[in-house]
Amino acid sequence: RVSRMVFLGGYARGWAKRGDAELIARRRAISTLIAHGWGQDNPAFRQLFTSFMMPGASPEHMEWYNELQRRTASPEGAQRLHDAFGEIDVTADLARVKAPTLVMHARGDASVPFEEGRILATGIPGARFVPLDGNNHILMKSEPAWQRFMAETQAFLAEPG
């Protein structure tokens, strides 16, 4: 059972379901890159994802995230996840969500378009949508969006059920 839901950078439609042929072509090329470069010691292939997830990160944070990716997913696993994320489409199920829901999304999110967060919030009855200023999909504690994310989440979770 779920009593409340908080989404950050969420979406109801994966990249292959958004109807954008150019995006699909780019993502399929990325899938091929994952298969052939993910596990290498050279972080160049993983850096592509880091740049989408945290374009505003410091070099130290980027290095940390590149290594985290390498350690936590095999090339095969990373490729399967990337491809599966593209096939998600739960838009028809959003209206069935009954739990109070908070959806937050960075305006400049390079990984998941801002509009996808809005679609998610619009499809869930009663959901509240909070735009965050920033470009990072993975928020960093040092950015203003982090403070807003924390304040909104804490206030939402403290609301009477």
What are the tens digits of pLDDT across the range 45-85? 888 889 999 999 999 999 999 999 989 999 999 999 999 99
So what's the pLDDT on residue 63?
Answer: 93
Please report which residue ranges of 17-143 form alpha helices under DSSP H: 21-37, 44-53, 59-72, 75-87, 114-123
In the predicted model, is pLDDT for residue 44 greater than 90? no
In whole angstroms, give the CA distance from residue 119 to residue 12: 7
In the predicted model, is pLDDT for residue 161 greater than 80? no
| Model confidence pLDDT, tens digit, residues 18-33 | 999 999 999 999 999 9
pTM: 0.92
In whole angstroms, give the CA distance from residue 77 to residue 32: 13
Strand order in the sheet with 101-106: 5-8, 101-106, 128-132
